[in-house]
A and B are shown apart, each in its own frame.
Chain A
């Protein structure tokens, strides 16, 4: 009985999914696709980015759109899975016929989609994937953020020069391109400057128990720990470090940036540092204007990923406006020519490798807000 009923439910939902999938083409609009982790372990990444993009779309539409056409944004959820990202991106390109793609935050998901976008000549801009390999996938793939080597360098500099640490431990997620990339550069730069890596251990993302690694780290006697992971694990790591009595600063990258970080880690995460695209305490007029309109629209403060999403969308729209027509190659060339674009997260110039060259900020966790500490330039 129950089996028949649930079968009926499956069929019904499948039909609904198909029905909503069939969209009518409208000559007067431009369709932009965003693939993001709207659900799943890193769901706040997708949601924050989508809000930033949405704000950019609404502002651009209110100002008359692009070449007189309105923009329609289609956001698709990849559940935080690389294989799902490839599937939804294919659907965005094949069925929805998007003009350009925006996404993803996590490098592993962007890496899954980049070859597809490249093959179909659909320009893709990732707002916050920092792994260098993403833009190496082809000349249609761009990013409006800095890359991992830079974030690793920023944190190594910060640890050595600002915090004056000399002995540091590294705890990296072995199955994350992002975490491995940041760790590699951090270790290289930190030892180059004269620091010492006293322990280099690893975990798997989705793990919940990190006590073994932290016990090992504790006995190595470091003055700080570099943990370039995502907020879901970082919150638990901070808790367990506190349980073991490790009272040294924890440091990380933009993967920490989420309100959930504090929810999970509670006061144990306070006072720790990470590098980010942007700080809410910025006094730059572009950033202030963004913060105000974001607050008005969503009734909360934006995080770094919202700012990055907003910038990626705005850079794309500016390029589309400038491009002679709205074909893939024309937009591609226009994005590649982006120079000194005044973004919320800094001035964006796309270089030969299709990466943005810009500075990073280091912030300190204080509850659900992040205190601005310093800006580190490339």
Chain B
């Protein structure tokens, strides 16, 4: 029984990370119907950005809430700027090009970032600064619940709630939904689509930045290719939940985390990745709109 509770906790904490990155995929897809494959590499750049900030400030061995805040802030800033740059230089010129061209560009940008990072930061793994003291907060049965796991889960849920608020309760959110519905008509109504899309990219990328710090504190080994697998898994999570749907992304992420954990716990780690992509195939065959998506989803 203790084991099972422990597995649930492990799954929840892994799933939260998938969820957070899946939110970024979903945001961009909701507005542009573009799968931004460079998202996972923006996430990697966020990890390196905050790593170098911590090194520069000399706070890499001073865990605490202020360190967490500084690292989160710097990762979000780095990611937002990179997201903005990518949108301006790579996607905007192709705004009216066929979808396939933009998809291929996204893959190109992703590879560019990976190899750029290897050239600049070196390909050997770096150790992410210690962000928080990992202490036992409370016990469920005989299972210890640790600070890191709670922090990761809390940040994910807070992020989802804030995003939901921004999209459904603010003027910018209204503009985003308008652009998602119909870019041309929104423009006629006085919305500047380019500005809205830029902001969407910045917000989505900043989420990747948050994810990178959380992953860095949980699995403190960062390298230029760290985004590939986690990015693919988060993408599957977004599709599973219904891409374009925010709660769906979180649900999908949590489900992915759980199922991976259970497969490894009760079957074999060999099937971990096979399971993730198996889910993708099954969803695409039987419920292409995802668990929480309707076939005519209202996007973002």
- Residues of chain A at the chain B interface (Cβ within 8 Å): 1-2, 6, 39-41, 43-44, 79-80, 174, 201-204, 206-209, 211-213, 215-216, 218-219, 232, 235-236, 239, 243-245, 260, 263-264, 266
Contacts and interface: CB of A to CB of B under 8 A. Distances in A.
Interface in B123-140: 123-125, 127, 130, 134
B269 A213 contact: yes
B174 interface: no
Nearest to B229: A206
B261 A212 contact: yes
B288 interface: no
Complex A-B, nearest 8 residue pairs according to Cβ-Cβ distance, in ascending order: A43-B124, A39-B123, A212-B264, A208-B219, A211-B10, A212-B265, A263-B127, A215-B6
Contacts of B223: 41
A44 B127 CA distance: 14
A174 B269 contact: yes
Contacts of A235: 221
Given A208-B219, A245-B144, A260-B124, 12 more contacts: A1-B89, A41-B124, A43-B124, A206-B229, A212-B269, A213-B264, A215-B7, A215-B10, A218-B3, A236-B220, A243-B146, A244-B6
Interface of B is mostly: helix
Nearest to B108: A3
B219 A236 contact: yes
A203 B269 contact: yes
A219 B219 CA distance: 23
11 contacts: A41-B125, A204-B272, A207-B269, A211-B14, A211-B261, A212-B269, A215-B6, A215-B7, A232-B125, A244-B6, A244-B144
B2 interface: yes
Interface in B213-263: 215, 219-221, 223, 229, 260-262
A40 B10 contact: no
Contacts of A6: 112
A350 to B, nearest CB: 32
A206 B269 CA distance: 12
Contacts of B215: 208
B90 interface: yes
A215 B6 CA distance: 7
B4 to A, nearest CB: 9
Interface of B: 2-3, 6-7, 10, 14, 89-90, 112, 118, 122-125, 127, 130, 134, 144, 146, 148, 215, 219-221, 223, 229, 260-262, 264-265, 268-270, 272-273
Nearest to A175: B270
B152 to A, nearest CB: 12
B146 to A, nearest CB: 6
Given A174-B270, A212-B7, A219-B2, A243 B124 contact: no
B10 A201 contact: no
Nearest to B272: A204
A204 B269 contact: yes
A209 B2 CA distance: 19
Nearest to A2: B89
Nearest to A171: B269
B252 to A, nearest CB: 18
A43 B123 contact: yes
B130 to A, nearest CB: 8
A252 B261 CA distance: 25
Contacts of A263: 127
A146 to B, nearest CB: 26
B123 A264 contact: no
A219 B142 CA distance: 12
Contact of B124 (A44, A211, A212, A213): A44
A338 B268 CA distance: 45
Contact of A204 (B6, B219, B220, B270): B270
A207 B112 CA distance: 23
Contacts of A266: 130
Contacts of A43: 122-125
Residue of B122, B125, B261, B270 contacting most chain A CB atoms (<10 Å): B125
Contacts of A79: 123
B13 to A, nearest CB: 8
Contacts of A2: 89-90
Contact of A209 (B3, B10, B112, B122): B10
A204 B220 CA distance: 18
Contacts of A208: 215, 219, 221
A260 B122 CA distance: 15
B265 A216 contact: yes
A264 B127 contact: yes
Contacts of B260: 209, 212
B83 to A, nearest CB: 15
Contacts of A218: 3
Given A219-B2, A244-B6, A232 B221 contact: yes
Nearest to A220: B3
A208 B18 CA distance: 13
Contacts of B122: 39, 43
Given A2-B90, A209-B14, A212-B261, A40 B7 contact: no
A79 B223 CA distance: 13
B165 to A, nearest CB: 31
A211 B9 CA distance: 10
A119 B7 CA distance: 51
Contacts of B221: 208, 232, 235-236, 264
A202 B270 contact: yes
Residue of B10, B122, B144 contacting most chain A CB atoms (<10 Å): B10
